[in-house]
Structure 1
């Protein structure tokens, strides 16, 4: 039996709690604490991302074969685009581009996936 994702209300409540955890973690990470607590506060902010990824996986497991094919095409295009973008930016960094934080990768992947999914899905619309 396939795993059921949480209801929308549960998802929204958990998202709000996750946002609060992230805000508290970010705030406490910058206040003077022992190193162990600062590491804990920094890593605490990854919990919402782990939950988000679990929801995405649960939703994708519920898709039919056609929708899975569209998502597979989008994932492949996202991977290629991510490689091109990161490689190009890596080549620009020694010249003039500032070094970026790793935290920009996840939004970049989400944006690339959205664009790739839109392109992949548009092929099948009549």
Structure 2
């Protein structure tokens, strides 16, 4: 898969995600949908997010061995770092720290993935 196709798929997926997220938030917060439909509408943004995940997986599959290794190392750091940080904070919640939303987990993992990618790619210069 070439980079242009990846960026088009990724960009379109992210744009659809943002549009569906804003729409679902407005519909639910405005009381337009309630009950079981509110649950369905709240989950609608996950559909384009799935498309983004598929685009990323396809790009990794199409990468050469070095890029795959870099991504594996980056994701390994992101996975382990997210686990350590979230578990540690969970223990801190037991002693009075404020509860955090699950919405913080993915951005944390994304930041650690970027850091892992930078560190790993530097190793292979």
TM-score (norm 1): 0.85
Q: Tell me: CA distance 1:89–1:26, structure 2 relative to 1, closer, same or farther (3 Å).
A: same
Deviation at 1:18, TM superposition (A): 2.7
Point out where structure 2 has 5 or more consecutive residues left out of the alignment: none
The CA RMSD over aligned residues, in Å, is 2.1
Point out where structure 1 has 5 or more consecutive residues left out of the alignment: none
Runs of at least 4 residues off by over 6 Å = 3-6
Query: In 1, Cα distance between the equivalents of 2:50 and 2:119?
Result: 27
Show CA shifts across 1:52-102 (max 9, x none).
111110110111011111111112222221121011101111223211111
Deviation at 1:123, TM superposition (A): 1.0
Aligned to 2:42: 42
TM-score (norm 2): 0.85
Structure number having the greater helix percentage: 2
Classify the secondary structure of the residue corresponding to 1:68: helix
**How many pairs are equivalent?**
123
